[in-house]
Amino acid sequence: MTRAASVAALVSVPILVVTSLAGAQTASRAAPTVRPAIDGILAAFEKHPLVGIGDAHNLAQQEDFFAALIRDPRFAKEVGNVVVEFGTATHQDILDRYINGAAVSFAELRSVWSDCVGATPTVTGLGYANFFAQVRTMNLSLPPERRIRVWGGEPVLDWSTVKTQSDIQPALAQRDSYPAALIKREILDKGKKALVIYGGAHFGMPGLPVELGPVKFLRDVVEEDYPDAFFIVVPYWGFLQKDCSAAFEQTHHDWPTSALAFPVRGSTIEDALRRTGCAVERPGNTTINLPNKTEAELAELQAKVATAFLDMLSGINGDALLYLGPAATLTRTPQEPSIYLDAAYRAEINRRNQIRGLPPLPDAIPVVSPRPMRP
């Protein structure tokens, strides 16, 4: 899944860019409140019906945290619902049967994540498959009326009918509106609560230039009818520069693993995330095509878009920061192995890649030893 999928329509190419972190350091900033992460998230549900966690796609420690959160007995009792980007509504029936203990073949279950429209080439992280297994295990220990419900948030799409890129576009256009409607219909209209696990861009990007027109992300659509419904949590996953990660971690060396720190804005966290010369992603290029704008004006707009994207990706726009350990300890989840062991499945994913204009899957078999998220 690309972190910029929801904002791709704003520019002629998907936004995969951030600029150097900058900003004045303010000595008077207050230190954040820090709590054990699960306790902090469950406390947030006391004031908000929805807690959105920005998924740093394929971060193994975060996927482990998702599993730990739903295994806490309080989650089923006090929340009970999860809406995920790594599951498709096309196969909600399969997902429901599986997490409630029915016999479901692996090929059936795999379609829940492999048929997601927004993930390219598909959802490959083993941690996401493991999450569904963790929910199933938890549910088998609970009476039916107290079991956790997991909702696939990706729009319905029958991949067997997809022959061209245009066949995918209607579903792609609903990647924010569809889960927002689901959340309002199945959760908020019924007075329920839900954990929402989605890439951070789906929770909004304050600071986007008004010249780009109104952009409605998942959170925006939900909060049109349910203001302040969301409490947003974004993970800390370090910087590209090792000294920047070390400086952040030294400043907050007394945080436990895992921890929830809040608020972000106005606290020492914001200063640490804006440290001059630090970046959470490699620089790239964006192109904005607007008539009647000079080159200087377009450059300014591009900088604003990059800053908005950066603030989302780094956690500055979140309500709380999820700390899962020092950057050097964070690793990528292994690949779910059928992507290279099942020839028919691999051929189908390559067919979809060809339709999207993407290269085929690499021939190299991925290593199974831990791979760091940061250089």
Tokens of 128: 């996401």
- Provide the pLDDT for residue 86: 98
Q: Which helix (H) or strand (E) holds 218?
A: helix 218-225
Judge whether 245 and 216 are in contact, CB under 8 Å: no
- Provide the pLDDT for residue 276: 87
- Provide the pLDDT for residue 29: 85
| Residues linked to residue 278 through DSSP beta bridges, in sequence order | 21
pTM confidence score: 0.91
Q: How far apart are CA 193 and CA 206, in angstroms?
A: 25
Tokens of 104: 């479901």
Closest to 53 in 3D by CA, of 287, 330, 237, 320 = 320
- Provide the pLDDT for residue 300: 86
With a cut of 50, list the residues of the chain below it in pLDDT: 1-26
Q: How far apart are CA 265 and CA 226, in angstroms?
A: 23
Going by the DSSP 8-state scheme, the letter that residue 128 receives in this structure is: H
- Provide the pLDDT for residue 285: 61
Q: At what angle do helices 126-139 and 60-71 cross, to 10 degrees?
A: 10
Tokens 């059928």 correspond to: 338
- Provide the pLDDT for residue 283: 58
Tens digit of each residue's pLDDT (9 = 90 or more) over 347-374: 999 999 999 999 999 999 988 899 999 8
Three-state secondary-structure class, residue 372? strand
- Provide the pLDDT for residue 2: 45
* Cα separation values, 284 from 15, 119, 287, Å: 8, 21, 10
- Provide the pLDDT for residue 114: 98
Judge whether 176 and 217 are in contact, CB under 8 Å: yes
- Provide the pLDDT for residue 13: 29
Tens digit of each residue's pLDDT (9 = 90 or more) over 237-291: 999 999 999 999 998 999 999 999 999 999 999 989 988 888 888 755 667 778 8
Q: How far apart are CA 298 and CA 304, in angstroms?
A: 10
Q: How far apart are CA 341 and CA 358, in angstroms?
A: 21
